[in-house]
Amino acid sequence: MDIPFKSLKSFQENYTSHLNSFIEEFPNATEIDFLHQLKRMYSFEIKFDNTKRVFNDLIWIKTRSFDESFGITYEDDEISISMFALIVEDYLNYYMPLIGDPFSYNPYSPFVDDEDVFVKDYEGFDIKDDPIKRLFIISENVASHDISINSKSLREIYLLQETFHYKYFKFLYFDNGKIKADEHKFQNYGFAVTNILNELDRKIFDTSIKSDVQDEIITENDYSDTRQLERMILLEKLGIIKYIQSIQNDVNNEKHTAEILSALSGINSATIAKNLGVMLGAKKNDNDKNSPYKNPKNLQLANNKLYQFNIDLTKIIL
């Protein structure tokens, strides 16, 4: 399983575009799904040393051996990148006489860093592979159909499985007819893997915390745009007008009541005084042009808000 980011810089610069592509492909997914998928991919590249997460610099591989009595046997091994280079070279030396020189099929370097380079194989097909990878494809096909296996010469030949091992070819290079491993490049890749995993853990934590906070936020209703006449009805029904009058030195002074209500509501005190003149006591006249109750819609809107206030409605008059 090849990973999408080979360096921390690439991860930081291309994370958002990869996330957007992922969401476009999977509309029901979220960023946390994307992060967990990436973490699973990068986790294949690490191991634990005394509970500490470190880069796994050993390659899993299968040893294929031929026993004259029992046939083919397989054993699991772990090898270093340098041993991998020797195995590839051994494989190359064995198959070159059988299939010809794979390096002659294209004009590029045997080991191509540019993943977008396309070369032609010997049959004319476009293959997005370097020649060494193509050698393995060709040799596996030849081994399956055309070559009589000589058990003595093939003893301890290794099967390199595509899923796990073709990605390691980018750490090999051709030098004076020998295939060698660039251990410095391999180690640098290891640092990228561990640092990207650390970044993924940080993003998973931050995204989870953000999600938890959003879940805890209670949506608040905003009534700041309540119209003036609705406010007057609310002030009366909530008992606020009556309470203010009860603490005034002159309970019958509507001008003072209007001034206090103006300070609380932001409504002009003169306007409030006109409303109070036809809202209270014996002077109450709902048909007066200054009464908030003249338009039934004002009462309806005010009552709707009272239902939303989570209060004991039995203590007010609706």
Tens of pLDDT, residues 151-197: 333 333 444 444 346 678 778 877 776 788 889 999 999 999 999 99
When pLDDT is averaged across residues 283-290 and rounded to a whole number, the result is 89
CA–CA separation, 188 and 199 (whole Å): 17
Whether 149 contacts 90, CB under 8 Å = no
Q: How many CB atoms lie within 10 A of CB 122?
A: 13
The pLDDT tens digits for 42-87 are 888 887 777 788 888 887 655 555 555 555 555 566 778 888 888 7
In sequence order, what E strands does 182-305 have? none
Confirm whether pTM is higher than 0.75: no
**For residues 73-99, b (16+ Cβ closer than 10 Å) or e, as one string?**
eeeeeebebebbbbbbbebbeebeeeb
Domains of the chain, by residue range, sit at 59-181, 229-315
Report the range out of 10-19, 72-81, 92-101 with the highest average pLDDT: 10-19
